[in-house]
């Protein structure tokens, strides 16, 4: 876990103002980590599809929301428990809508710092064929000071400060994609990280980008993470990108799991 601290987030100070986050170069904020247990007798490595039991005080709402993604199924097994079967990168099944390409308060494309950030990408990749991987690589290199001291910053602030946690990576990646003419949205959820000798789960944020007629998970924050594999469990989209986006972030907490139990590989 010593190299994970730059990547994960307690879903920002905006969401978690009631919590105190403690972080240093060798740790992950305790708010960000979600308890996870392997099933009895389960060894590593995991397969490309896993199953686990998820504990959530809003299991019914979460199950309904997960129905919008292909590659994840949720079956209610108790009042606050779901049985989740998950592939590494579930795919959102609904089409784009207008706001996914819009200039908004959070994804503020028209601000000078955002435009300068996009121009620097275009200059660096002027001769390269387009690839979503290029967006991840550029945002990863552009944010030179990963930090948990911020709240949930809007794109122009991230572009100017070049600092932040996974929410800032996700917002800036969405701004870059939209500026290049693609639809993009910010997702708040959970990432399960498998390494050689352990598995951990964290609250996380990433970007989904519409490319070649389908949605793709694009996670700039984990671009250089050395892991065997990660599994993305979506929670909710940041669907309020206006000045009141903080309330949308607070509402996203209802989709965050409390614990993950009995994680096992599927055949």
- As a whole number of angstroms, the distance between CA 154 and CA 33 comes to 24
Are residues 72 and 266 in contact, defined by beta-carbon separation less than 8 angstroms?
A: no
Matching CATH number, 12-32+95-253, of 3.10.620, 3.30.70, 3.30.1240, 2.30.30 = 3.10.620
Beta strand 229-237 with 259-265 is unpaired
- Per the prediction, the chain carries an average pLDDT of 88
pLDDT digits (tens, 9 = 90+) for 7-22: 443 344 334 332 323 2
Beta strand 81-92 with 50-55 is antiparallel
Are residues 207 and 218 in contact, defined by beta-carbon separation less than 8 angstroms?
A: yes
pTM of the full predicted structure?
0.89
pLDDT at 161: 96
Q: Is the peptide bond before 29 cis (omega within 30 degrees of 0)?
A: no
> Taking Cα atoms as reference points, which of 169, 173, 190 lies closest to residue 234?
190
pLDDT digits (tens, 9 = 90+) for 68-124: 999 999 999 999 999 999 999 999 999 999 999 999 999 999 999 999 999 999 999
Are residues 22 and 30 in contact, defined by beta-carbon separation less than 8 angstroms?
A: yes
pLDDT at 255: 85
What are the residue ranges spanned by the domains of the chain? 12-32+95-253
- As a whole number of angstroms, the distance between CA 216 and CA 109 comes to 21
CA distances from residue 73 to 52, 85, 91, 233 in whole angstroms, order as listed:
11, 5, 12, 10
Are residues 71 and 91 in contact, defined by beta-carbon separation less than 8 angstroms?
A: yes
pLDDT at 12: 40
pLDDT at 83: 98
pLDDT at 226: 85
Q: Which positions of the chain have pLDDT values less than 50?
A: 1-31
CA distances from residue 109 to 57, 82, 199, 202 in whole angstroms, order as listed:
37, 39, 37, 29
């Amino acid at each position: 876990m010593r190299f994970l601290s730059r990547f994960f987030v307690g879903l920002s100070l905006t969401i978690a103002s009631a919590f105190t986050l403690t972080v240093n170069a060798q740790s992950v904020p305790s708010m960000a980590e979600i308890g996870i247990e392997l099933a009895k007798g389960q060894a590593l490595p995991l397969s490309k599809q896993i199953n686990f039991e998820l504990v959530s005080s809003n299991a019914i709402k979460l199950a309904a929301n997960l129905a919008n993604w292909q590659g994840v199924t949720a079956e209610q097994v108790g009042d606050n428990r779901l049985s989740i079967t998950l592939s590494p990168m579930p795919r959102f099944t609904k089409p784009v809508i207008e706001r996914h390409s819009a200039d908004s308060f959070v994804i503020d494309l028209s601000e000078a710092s955002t435009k300068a950030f996009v121009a620097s990408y275009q200059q660096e990749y002027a001769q390269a064929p387009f690839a979503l991987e290029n967006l991840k690589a550029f945002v990863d290199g552009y944010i030179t000071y990963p930090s948990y001291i911020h709240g949930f910053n809007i794109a122009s602030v991230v572009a100017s400060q070049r600092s932040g946690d996974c929410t800032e990576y996700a917002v800036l990646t969405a701004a870059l994609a939209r500026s290049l003419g693609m639809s993009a949205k910010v997702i708040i959820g959970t990432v399960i990280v498998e390494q050689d000798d352990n598995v951990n789960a964290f609250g996380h944020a990433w970007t989904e980008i519409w490319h070649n007629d389908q949605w793709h998970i694009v996670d700039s924050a984990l671009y250089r993470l050395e892991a065997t594999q990660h599994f993305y469990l979506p929670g909710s989209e940041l669907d309020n990108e206006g000045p009141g986006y903080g309330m949308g972030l607070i509402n996203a907490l209802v989709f965050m799991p409390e614990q993950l139990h009995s994680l096992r590989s599927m055949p």
